[in-house]
Chain A
Amino acid sequence: MTKSELIELIASKQQHLAYKDVELAVKTLLEHMSESLATGQRIEIRGFGSFSLHHRPPRIGRNPKTGEPVALPGKYVPHFKPGKQLRQRVNGEHQAGR
């Protein structure tokens, strides 16, 4: 499922909203989430999961062509940990109260 298919699906369930508004809302949500991670703030959505940053320490890489060593600085990478409800639903464990 792509972003535009997700927008169509949400618009079909939120019929009181104009398609354009749903489209803008989904883009705003994703931008808000990206912006949050880009400033080092984690995201916590109960029943869905949490997004945080993991640190990758600096290392010595190599230029694959010349074999020459290259110093690579440390960096952060986004990490997602699925929440309990998502884990169970994806694994076909149907639980009450979802």
Chain B
Amino acid sequence: MALTKADMAERLFEEVGLNKREAKELVECFFEEIRTALEEGTSVKLSGFGNFDLRDKSERPGRNPKTGEEIPISARRVVTFRPGQKLKSRVEAYAGSSEQ
């Protein structure tokens, strides 16, 4: 089972003492403010977790994999996530159940 916003709100209710409505709103607000910053072209750096950066990609040739037809992939801006050192070392230690 994946971690969801509902799980995060539940944790804020238990550990921070926000009521259920406040907890739900806070989780929503957290992700919305990150989206808004990125939408405005601002990268987001969360120390200990990682950085959300923006990259501008130029147009490149692509292909419809079904028909083999050549179609250009238009220039676009994309989000990339670079995990921080702390998160990387915590994850690296995960022995894995080989399901991921």
Among B34, B43, B48, B92, which residue has the most Cβ atoms of chain A within 10 A?
Answer: B92
Residues of B within 8 A of A17 (CB): 18, 22, 26
Q: Can you list 18 residue pairs at the A/B interface with Cβ under 8 Å?
A: A1-B44, A10-B33, A17-B26, A29-B8, A32-B8, A33-B3, A34-B87, A37-B91, A40-B94, A41-B3, A42-B100, A47-B31, A48-B34, A77-B91, A80-B80, A82-B79, A86-B35, A90-B39
Which residue of A21, A38, A91 is within 8 Å of B94 (Cβ)?
Answer: A38
| Chain B residues within CB distance 8 Å of chain A | 1-5, 7-8, 11-12, 15-18, 22-23, 25-27, 29-31, 33-35, 37-39, 42-50, 52, 54, 76-81, 83, 86-88, 90-94, 96-97, 99-100
Interface string of A41-57 (1 = CB under 8 A from B): 11111011111111100
Known contacts A13-B29, A40-B97, A76-B96; is A28 also within 8 Å of B15 by CB?
yes
A71 to chain B minimum Cβ distance, whole angstroms, is: 16
| Chain A residues within CB distance 8 Å of chain B | 1-3, 6, 9-10, 13-14, 16-17, 21-22, 24-26, 28-30, 32-34, 36-45, 47-55, 75-80, 82, 85-87, 89-92
